[in-house]
Amino acid sequence: MFRKLAGIYNYLKHKSQDYFQSEQPQEEESEQEKVPRDIQKVKQKLAETFADCSDFVLRELKIGDDSQFKVILAYFEGLTDHEIINNGILDPLMIESKKIGIDRRHEGELIQKIKEEIINVGEVGEADTFTRTVEELLAGGTVLYIDGQGTALKFDTTAWEERGVEEPQTESIVRGPREGFVESLSTNISLLRRRIKNANLKFKVLNLGVQTNTDVAIGYLAGIVNEDVLKMVEERVQRIKIDAVLESGYIEEFIEDSPFSIFPTVGSSERPDKVAGKLLEGRVAILCEGTPFVLTVPYLFIEAFQSSEDYYNRPYVATIGRSLRFLALIITAALPAFYVAVLTFHQNILPFELLLNITAAVEGIPFSPFFETLVLGTAFELLREAGVRMPKPIGQAVSIVGALILGEAAVEAGIASHPIVIVTAVTAITSFILSPLLEPLIFIRLFLLVAANTLGFMGMGLVIITIFVHLVNLKSFGVPYLAPFSPLSGMDLEDTLVRFPLWAMLTRPRILAWREEEGEKYRLDANLIKKEE
């Protein structure tokens, strides 16, 4: 069924692609307009383009020995740095140009002269087309139009308000760096570059979003990354044609392998150290302007169990953490279903005394265990949603009211039984351990619950097998989702349930280079040297 839906989805996707492709050439033709030579025309066009843009600044200047050249300086207030414009552009233009002595003789080489001898701004470039200059203005640049030249000069004066680097709100850890990504793409890139001081760390910047023109960077470590994966990522990202890219989630939805699967096949993280680690393993990162969440692909199932802290702590601690997370997965997915199955079909599995206690607790409750579990589970999800949406101080109150008062009152009133409250609470607590799988787990819990109520353990077994089959079918950018468990990849098991000591991890994840099976190429040289010593 999924495949069929995916077929329809792909069809629609291609359809929309064709639509955009047929549209684009015409747009481009009209846009490829030269910068007018006549400065009055430029002024008129700018006024047209930026009509009703109150933050747009347009300054007419006269430069040269006898003020014989008319120029227009344009920029956006708030996107640019006043200091740079004043000291680096305005000041030299109005004063230096007179000192150097530019006159009519220099008209041909005016642009060169301004660029090389007058302006003292770091990044200077030329723009031929009017559209290019508009883009530059919108990105925080300053553009200088010169009368009679047909080419404009652009200066990088970008400077806008941005949040400082703070500790990330999600993925908190005890030991490890406290830095998190911010909304600015260049800051994020610098955060990664600071961790990997290597010329092989590449970032390809693309422009996405027909209306928003958002900058998106594809980061990878050349030489380590799997070329096939990189090519796939580039193709898929370039294929995206939408109006707006406001968050990396927009990109995620377009590049997923199985858009109808409940499981995520694209990872996201707010932690630079984590993303740097993934880059070093050979993954590709996709950074998006305007969001601290960086996507990493390929994303495998096992990554939900890996925390960056695992590598900062000693291997024993990390291994215990991993095992606990696997246990949490089992509990949070299956505990409510297990409870319902036991009460409905398999009472004799419980020790006799426990059975007596549970029977006593359940007695007098008018609802079936299934219904109770479903209602309490839904109530919990509502509380969670309320906790997220509420302003933070109120959120705490909501959780106290929800957890303590409502639960206790429901039991007292005979609406729910004690065991079910325990089951729901344990399920809820454990579900937060695996935050990347939070959403799929809600579905899995529900499927298992229905199956357990219908066929007990056998039903649960059937649903689990079905989920396994689905997981086995999944791929993330060509890499099997369940790797390294299936297909079994012996060397990669070093970083799964058990985290080996760092000096014992001799190879990079071979699963990420699944198609080329050259063991040698992916050996981690630094570790080898350490071992030989």
Partner 1 sequence: MIEEAKISGYQLGMLIVGFVFGSSVILNPAAVAYQDAWFAQLLAWLGGFVLLGLYVAIYLLSPEQNLIETLREGFGKYLGSLIGLFYIWYFIHLASLVFRDLGEYMMTVTYTETPLVFLIISFSLPIAYLVKSGIEAIGRTAEITIFVIPISVLITVVLLIPNYDFNSLQPFLEEGLTPVLEGAFNNLSFPFGETVIFLMLFPALNEKDKLIKASSLGLFVAGVLLITITLRDIMVLGSNIFRRAIFPAHLSTTLLPAEIDQLIAINWLLGSGAKITVCIYATVKGLAELFKLNSYKLLALPTVVLAVGLSLWSFDDLIGLLRWSSEIYPYYALPFQIVIPVLLLIILLFKRYLR
φ, ψ (nearest 5 deg) of residue 364: 90, -5
Per CB under 8 A, 244 contacts partner 1: no
Q: Which is nearer to partner 1, 85 or 482 (CB)?
A: 482
Burial annotation 321-348 (CB, 10 A radius, 16+ → b, else e)? bbeebeebbebbbbbbbbbbbbbbbeee
Per CB under 8 A, 346 contacts partner 1: yes
CB-count burial class (<10 Å; 0-12, 13-18, 19+) for 236: middle
Q: Which is nearer to partner 1, 29 or 517 (CB)?
A: 517
Kindly state the tokens that stand for 17: 């692609």
Smallest distance, partner 1 to C-beta of residue 496, A: 13
Smallest distance, partner 1 to C-beta of residue 522, A: 20
Smallest distance, partner 1 to C-beta of residue 472, A: 4
Per CB under 8 A, 125 contacts partner 1: no
Beta strands 141-146 and 69-76: pairing type?
A: antiparallel
Q: Which is nearer to partner 1, 64 or 480 (CB)?
A: 480
Per CB under 8 A, 484 contacts partner 1: no
Q: Which is nearer to partner 1, 20 or 345 (CB)?
A: 345
Applying CB under 8 A, among 198, 473, 507, 527 the residue interacting with partner 1 is 473
3-state class (DSSP) for residue 145: strand
Sign, Cα dihedral of 460, 466, 467, 468 = positive
Per CB under 8 A, 514 contacts partner 1: no
Per CB under 8 A, 359 contacts partner 1: no
3-state class (DSSP) for residue 161: coil
Helices 418-431 and 352-362 sit at what angle, rounded to 10 degrees? 100
Contact of 152 with 146, CB cutoff 8 Å? yes
Applying CB under 8 A, among 114, 300, 482, 513 the residue interacting with partner 1 is 482
Q: Which is nearer to partner 1, 354 or 401 (CB)?
A: 354
Q: Which residues pair with 124 in a beta bridge?
A: 155
DSSP-derived letter for residue 293 is P
Applying CB under 8 A, among 8, 12, 488, 504 the residue interacting with partner 1 is 488
Smallest distance, partner 1 to C-beta of residue 7, A: 13
Smallest distance, partner 1 to C-beta of residue 331, A: 16
3-state class (DSSP) for residue 338: helix
Whole-number Å distance between alpha carbons of 379 and 420: 12
Q: Which is nearer to partner 1, 438 or 472 (CB)?
A: 472
Kindly state the tokens that stand for 240: 């995206």
Smallest distance, partner 1 to C-beta of residue 359, A: 16
Smallest distance, partner 1 to C-beta of residue 458, A: 6
Smallest distance, partner 1 to C-beta of residue 388, A: 34
Q: Which is nearer to partner 1, 73 or 449 (CB)?
A: 449
Smallest distance, partner 1 to C-beta of residue 56, A: 57
Per CB under 8 A, 326 contacts partner 1: no
Kindly state the tokens that stand for 352: 């006799």
Contact of 292 with 182, CB cutoff 8 Å? yes
How many residues of this chain interact with partner 1, rule: CB under 8 A? 25
Question: Within 427-466, which residues bind partner 1 (CB under 8 A)?
Answer: 454-459, 461-462, 465-466
Query: What are the strands of the beta sheet with 201-208, ordered from one edge?
Result: 201-208, 214-221, 284-288, 294-297, 267-269
Q: Which of 176, 159, 135, 155 is nearest to 32 (CA)?
A: 135
Smallest distance, partner 1 to C-beta of residue 481, A: 10
Q: Which is nearer to partner 1, 1 or 529 (CB)?
A: 1
Neighbour count for residue 497 (Cβ, 10 Å): 13
Smallest distance, partner 1 to C-beta of residue 328, A: 19
Per CB under 8 A, 519 contacts partner 1: no
Q: Which helix (H) or strand (E) holds 288?
A: strand 284-288
CB-count burial class (<10 Å; 0-12, 13-18, 19+) for 65: middle
Q: Which is nearer to partner 1, 257 or 273 (CB)?
A: 257
Q: Which is nearer to partner 1, 432 or 468 (CB)?
A: 468
Question: Within 249-308, which residues bind partner 1 (CB under 8 A)?
Answer: none
| Amino acid identity for residue 112 in this structure | Q
Per CB under 8 A, 369 contacts partner 1: no
Whole-number Å distance between alpha carbons of 22 and 465: 45
Applying CB under 8 A, among 78, 223, 487, 501 the residue interacting with partner 1 is 487
Q: Note the residues at the interface with partner 1 (CB under 8 A).
A: 345-346, 348-349, 351, 454-459, 461-462, 465-466, 468-469, 472-473, 480, 482, 485-488
